[in-house]
Chains A and B, each alone.
Chain A
Amino acid sequence: MPDPALAVSEEVSTARPASLRELFIAFTVLALQGFGGVIAIAQRELCERRRWLTAKEFVELLGTAQVLPGPNVCNLSLMIGDRFFGWRGAAVALAGMMTAPLILMLLLAWVIALVPHDSTAHGLVRGALTGIAAVAAGQIVGTVLRLAAPLKQHPLSLGVSLSLAAAAFGMMAWLRWPLVWVLLGLGGATCLLTYAVLRRRAP
């Protein structure tokens, strides 16, 4: 593992939002930068720029967020908001995540409906969206590589946990198994294995 990744895992979350207002603004700002998905920018803003969470805490919250129904990033916002300001924080973080992007998107839908389908502008926008989609995919992969750093401190060894990550990837990307099977099957097995290791370590 290269050095920048190591640096990520050793970061500590030293800061916290000073007020609900700051929390709302932070989530609005990050949501508005989240083209094609919010995970990448959320990790960058919350862990690295604002230092409200470590990469390890971020992945752990994301792990809980994804086994629950609901959009992962929205569940994540609720949990982070709740952690700092209780239920009011949860509501404010979620509102920050959704309000401005919703207004922007409805305006966009309204404008697009007015533009003729065969115009040059329409072609340019379609091209730009293709480019943004390619960037979004790359951002997610890059973020995964940063988030993999905490695996070095995983109770299962780095080798085992990387193999498990590869198995989850293969089941979703190649075998196209339903997510619920992967979460229950592989996720369940991984949790049991981790439990056994922690149990053996415990005094």
Chain B
Amino acid sequence: MSAALSPAASPLAWAPEVWWELFQHFLAWSLMSIGGAITLVSDMHRRLVAEAGLLTDENFTAAIALAQAAPGPNVLFVGLIGWYSAGLGGALTSLVGVMIPSSTLALTASRWVASRRDWLGVQAFQSGMTPVTIGLLLATGWLLAPSAQHPAALLLSAAVALLVWRTKVPLMALVALGAVLGALGWV
């Protein structure tokens, strides 16, 4: 197999066995995905690329990079993994598999919490988690920020942080600015 040309499945591939296999894998991963499906990437790589050989390493990496860059929730990388493995059917079965268990639990749990808003324990949980949530979100921003080896990009991140904090400048304008500066090779 040539390494340069990674053979992804054709978009309209008919592969019910692979769809079923993907569905089962992602169904099992769903309830383990605290912090998002992205936390299970190494396990997914081991099972789907190394063991099952459903897609190439190159396509696996491309799926994550593309989903990070494209608009929308990052969990869509699961759909792309399915897409590269078994076309459109693979994309849909993978996403449905990963969403059903966690969504059912999230809805049940949040209703339980909402219906007991007057309980002291529930209030303590909601307020108590707030500082931790804020710290964790800050860590996400920090880990995604460019490294100090790219001072121009880091400066751009810092400027955007300041603008988002203190002004109401449209976020899409900032994204467009980033895209232009990046395409020109300035960051």
Pick the 8 closest A-B CB pairs, nearest first.
A131-B182, A101-B72, A142-B164, A168-B135, A70-B102, A138-B160, A63-B129, A135-B178
Chain B 104-144: CB-based contact to A (< 8 A → 1; otherwise 0): 01110111011000001101111111111111111111111
If the complex has contacts A35-B70, A137-B145, A191-B125, are A70 and B103 also in contact, measured as CB distance less than 8 A?
A: yes
Contact residues of A: prevailing secondary structure: helix
Q: Contacts A69-B105, A82-B111, A140-B140 known; list 6 others, CB within 8 Å.
A: A98-B73, A130-B146, A134-B178, A141-B141, A172-B139, A202-B120
Given A68, A101, A162, which contacts B73 in the complex, CB threshold below 8 Å?
A101
Tell me the complex Cα distance, A20–B123, Å.
29
> In the complex, which residues of chain A have a beta carbon less than 8 angstroms from the beta carbon of B73?
31, 34, 38, 71, 73-74, 97-98, 101
A4 to B166, Cβ gap below 8 A?
A: yes
Query: Which residues of B does A touch, CB under 8 Å?
Result: 4, 8, 11, 30-37, 39, 62-63, 65-76, 79-80, 83-84, 88, 91, 95, 99, 101-103, 105-107, 109-111, 113-114, 120-121, 123-146, 150, 153-154, 156-168, 171-172, 174-175, 177-187
Chain A 30-81 interface residues, beta-carbon cutoff 8 Å to B: 31-41, 44, 48, 56, 59-75, 78-79
B131 to A134, Cβ gap below 8 A?
A: no
Tell me the complex Cα distance, A130–B136, Å.
23
What distance in Å separates the Cβ of A82 from its nearest Cβ neighbour in chain B?
6
B146 to A137, Cβ gap below 8 A?
A: yes
Tally inter-chain residue pairs, CB-CB below 8 A: 374
- Can you list 21 A-B contacts (CB < 8 A)? A33-B71, A35-B175, A56-B130, A59-B133, A60-B129, A63-B130, A102-B79, A105-B72, A106-B83, A127-B185, A128-B178, A131-B181, A134-B178, A137-B144, A138-B157, A139-B164, A151-B131, A166-B135, A168-B136, A180-B35, A198-B124
A167 to B71, Cβ gap below 8 A?
A: no
> In the complex, which residues of chain B have a beta carbon less than 8 angstroms from the beta carbon of A168?
131-132, 134-136, 139
What distance in Å separates the Cβ of B3 from its nearest Cβ neighbour in chain A?
12
B183 to A70, Cβ gap below 8 A?
A: no
B138 to A144, Cβ gap below 8 A?
A: yes
Query: Which residues of A does B touch, CB under 8 Å?
Result: 2, 4-5, 31-41, 44, 48, 56, 59-75, 78-79, 82-83, 87, 90, 94, 97-98, 100-102, 104-106, 108-110, 112-113, 117, 124-125, 127-148, 150-151, 154-156, 161-162, 164-170, 172-173, 179-180, 182-183, 186-187, 190-195, 198-199, 202
Given A69, A134, A162, A190, which contacts B146 in the complex, CB threshold below 8 Å?
A134
A182 to B136, Cβ gap below 8 A?
A: yes
If the complex has contacts A98-B95, A131-B178, are A40 and B72 also in contact, measured as CB distance less than 8 A?
A: no
> In the complex, which residues of chain B have a beta carbon less than 8 angstroms from the beta carbon of A194?
123-124, 127-128
